Structure 1
Amino acid sequence: MDRENLKCLFENYRTPFEEEKAMVPGFLELLDDPDAFKRERKAGHFTASAWIVNKRRTHALLTLHRKLQRWLQLGGHADGNENLLEVALTEAREESGLQSIRLVDKSIFDLDRHVIPANDKEERHFHYDVRFLIEAEMDEPLIISPESKDLAWVGFDLTAELVGFNDSVLRMLEKTSKSEILL
């Protein structure tokens, strides 16, 4: 996946969520910046995430993020890699220990632009997160990475409460629940 392919994915991306539709122009604008995939771009940069679900679509794998202290999907910085699908798959493996993950679709599953608060190492900035739908088996052992405090397969019925009603996670949950890709 190169910048041209990513541009095509952004331009053809469709979502029923108005707040998500409104983000697409910003993603396209960022794509024109030569440093868009580098965390050194202080205003904001691309990240990639994996929305990992079980085959039956009853659970999602979430991580308790060490720095943010919130339950989230797995993902991370592109660190110069312009292939965001590859970044999402790599982050999924590194942050979970899962090896038997399966990409459901090469299309973008979700987009989210969110603020990362300032901390000791960096100022406040934005993540332009491109998310992909991934499947995994719930019986495979999990390995907690240094970036996480915990990992858990969370039932869809408990996700909203656990994530603190995080709109972007709830949006992915709703998309998964309504998905035609059941098996």
Structure 2
Amino acid sequence: MKRHSLLTLLRQHTPFDAEEHKMWLDTIQFVEQNPDCFERWLAIGHITGSAWIVNETQTSVLLMHHRKLDKWFQPGGHADGESDILQVALKEAREETGLEIINVLDTNIFDVDVHLIPANVKDPAHYHYDIRFLLQADSQNPLIINSESKDLVWVPLPEVGRYNNSESIMRMVRKVGSK
């Protein structure tokens, strides 16, 4: 079963707070009920993989200014059929930042988030069931902006709220701060 590994990872994850707990439960239910959960064409929503990339001292995080949504987020994207979500997060991180060396700090899930993606010219509104992993990179390595982003920047954790103060982002800031 293609979903087994993700379900195992999800069941091993301990949500940080009540909000993440609800999204965690919703994600488990979504994966259990949708054999095609890794496919972008699944109209109600799909699994995505994200990378919360911290610097060597875990005092800054790498954010990208998303071109389509015009907001600052962590790198990440669609699984496109791939069931190894950690590999999805790593692939997206490399593609969206230009970083070649990105270290996995933990193979366990770092964060689970469910968010609505607004309708656009190609797709109706749908949900992303985002599985996030804690990664690390050398903040001195050059960054390469691709067509999906307007900018990339290392942001000190206390300043992340100036870029994106959504609960989804701020929860990950608090998680790094609590380690």
**Structure 1: gaps spanning 5 or more residues:** none
Query: Residues 51 and 132 of structure 2 are in contact (CA less than 8 Å); yes or no, is this contact kept in structure 1?
Result: yes
Q: C-alpha separation between the residues in 2 aligned to 1:25 and 1:172? A: 18
Runs of at least 4 residues off by over 3 Å: none
1:39 paired residue number: 40
Secondary structure of the 1:22 match is helix
Percentage of pairs with the same residue: 45
1:130 corresponds to which letter in structure 2? I
Match of 1:99 in 2: 100
Give the SS at the match of 1:63. strand
The separation in 2 between residues aligned to 1:16 and 1:88, in whole angstroms, is 20
Q: Normalising by structure 1, what TM-score?
A: 0.94
Alignment length (residue pairs)? 177
Asked whether 1:81 is paired with 2:52, we answer no
* Pairwise CA distance, 1:12: 2.1
Question: 1:177 corresponds to which residue?
Answer: 177
Q: Return the TM-score normalized by structure 2.
A: 0.96
Distance 1:59 1:5 in 2: 30
What is the one-letter code of the residue matched to 1:31? V
Report matched runs for 1:15-26 at 5 Å.
Answer: 15-26=15-26
Q: How does 1:1-183 map to 2 (within 5 A)?
A: 3-32=3-32, 33-163=34-164, 165-179=165-179
* Offset, 1:29: 1.9
Unaligned runs of 5+ in 2: none
Whichever residue aligns with residue 83 of structure 1, its letter is: D
- In the TM superposition, what whole-angstrom CA distance separates every residue of 1:42-61 from its partner, at most 9, and x where no partner exists? 11100000000001011100
